[in-house]
Structure 1
């Protein structure tokens, strides 16, 4: 399993945890929940960039 796939799977699991346990997409979403998903997506994009860069180097 390459690093890009692993990073994507971790991101999807994190989004599902946020959806089911933190109820991020509920009717009463706070600013903190919105920012936390936004930061999670930023971390995913940075990790995806570095994983792809590492795969191209090898």
Structure 2
């Protein structure tokens, strides 16, 4: 299994955990919850960049 798939699976699991346990998409969404999802996505994009860069070399 490639590293890109592993990073994508970890990201999806994190989004599912955020949706089910932390109620990120609930009616009482705070700015902290919104920023945490935004930060999680930024970490995912950075991880994809470095994993793809390392796989090409």
- TM-score (structure 2 length as normaliser): 0.98
Q: Structure 2 stretches of 5 or more lacking a match?
A: none
Give the ranges of 4+ consecutive aligned residues of structure 1 lying more than 6 Å apart after TM superposition: none
How many residue pairs get aligned? The number is 57
Higher relative contact order, structure no. (Cα contacts within 8 Å, ≥ 6 residues apart): 1
TM-score by length of 1: 0.96
Aligned counterpart, 1:47: 47
Establish whether residue 6 from structure 1 lines up as the match of residue 1 from structure 2. Answer: no
The two structures, once aligned, show a CA RMSD in angstroms of: 0.4
